[in-house]
Amino acid sequence: MKEFQQSEALQRLPDQFFAKLVKKLHTYQQQGRDLINLGQGNPDQPTPDHIVKSLQQAAENPVNHKYSPFQGFDHLKEAVATYYKREYDVDVDPDQEVAVLFGSKAGLVELSQCFLNTGDVALVPDPGYPDYWSGVALADGVMEPLPLLEENGFLPNYGDIEEETLNKAKLMFLNYPNNPTSAVANRAFFEETVEIADQHDICVVHDFAYGAIGFDGDKPLSFLQVPGAKNVGVEIYTMSKTFNMAGWRIAFAVGNPSVVQALELIQDHYYVSLFGAVQDAAADALLGSQDCVDNIKDMYERRRNILATGLQEAGYEFTPCKGSFFMWLKAPEGYSSESFADELLDKVGLFTAPGIGFGEYGESYVRIGLNNSEESLLDAVKRFKAFKKEHVKKPEQ
């Protein structure tokens, strides 16, 4: 059979980290192993009933059986603006400052294609969400890491970045609450980010995927709450985590009008907009009762507490989880992130994500997801304790 050569753009793509993880998981599952999957970031609960019913009703509307407007329905963009005003006291122009996205992943990849030419620099968090890399690769850009270190609260230290690099940079990706470290950003950091971006003409892309999931009474800060943020960038907000709508593939870019315009332009050439019924249901979710969101957040906090208590009792080192639905666990002495993940899987049936898959500075950690029942997490705690007792060598005194 003739084999056709892939484009240079496709050849530049990094290996899909999560696809490799899933393949490894399936291999063990096919062997009939008793496993607990802590490795993926897929919400385990269904979408709230009232949102599903909204979709069902909207699907019966013949208007939604036709092509929807290329750039999305006005009433959905207005709902996004209302949501941002209610939740964050941020004024948003629905006509100029909201782009409807086919899930946040698509928008994050498209942004590099919108603003990077060959050789242009993007500042990318390390460790960070691997699909940032994909967009930069497709655009033939150059990635410069923003190291996220424990001693800095997993926030980039802009003072460590060369001035030449800042002058070359066109994009900066940030993500708080953070995947994979679970860190949150404070106002002072976002204020410094706006200052740096304005000074060096850098477009900031804040990935706010876990914006609704903050713990201990603290609500995560929106980048757009900081004065000047809309002048230097956008925030990407997805319905996936806030409303358990991961499979619905709907998100938004909110902020700088020129960035919104660029996203809508590239999407005009890729798609006709989302199924209208999905847009109607998303608008209802944003405008309706947020009790379901509070319930989801409380559920993750209970799960975090179970794991945190158990891991602490077992003597593991981990970063306090302040937001997102992940925990960032340090590998015991003598283990790399991959060897620790492999041993957990092989010895006690715990599937975790090795930190090296999120970048060089993710080495020596594994990411644990909170997307399992409390009963399952209690079982996971027992397995972590068993692993520590039976397989981790105590440091020599």
pLDDT in tens, 64-110: 999 999 999 999 999 999 999 999 999 999 999 999 999 999 999 99
> How far is the C-alpha of 133 from the C-alpha of 230, rounded, in Å?
24
Alpha-carbon Rg for the chain in angstroms: 21
Q: Is the CB of residue 230 less than 8 Å from the CB of residue 83?
A: no
> How far is the C-alpha of 373 from the C-alpha of 328, rounded, in Å?
19
339-354 pLDDT, tens digit per residue, is 999 999 999 999 999 9
> How far is the C-alpha of 335 from the C-alpha of 87, rounded, in Å?
43
Residue written as token pair 């620790």: 340
The vertex-260 CA angle with 282 and 15, nearest 5°, equals 80
- CB neighbours of 375 closer than 8 A, spacing ≥ 6? none
317-339 pLDDT, tens digit per residue, is 998 899 999 999 999 999 999 99
Q: Is the CB of residue 237 less than 8 Å from the CB of residue 251?
A: yes
Could you give the residue range(s) of every CATH 3.90.1150.10 domain in the chain?
A: 8-46+292-390
Could you give the residue range(s) of every CATH 3.40.640.10 domain in the chain?
A: 49-287
* pLDDT of 58 over the 90 cut: yes
Nearest residue to 238 (alpha-carbon basis) of 103, 69, 380? 103
Domain 49-287 = CATH 1.10.1200.10: no
pLDDT band of 27, cuts 50, 70, 90: confident
Are β-strands 203-207 and 98-101 bridged in parallel, bridged antiparallel, or unpaired? unpaired
Indicate the residue type of 59: A
> How far is the C-alpha of 354 from the C-alpha of 362, rounded, in Å?
8
By CB atoms closer than 10 A (0-12, 13-18, 19+), residue 147 is: middle
Residue written as token pair 């460590």: 160
Q: What is the pLDDT of residue 397?
A: 39
- Domain spanning 8-46+292-390, CATH class: alpha beta
Q: What is the pTM of this model?
A: 0.95
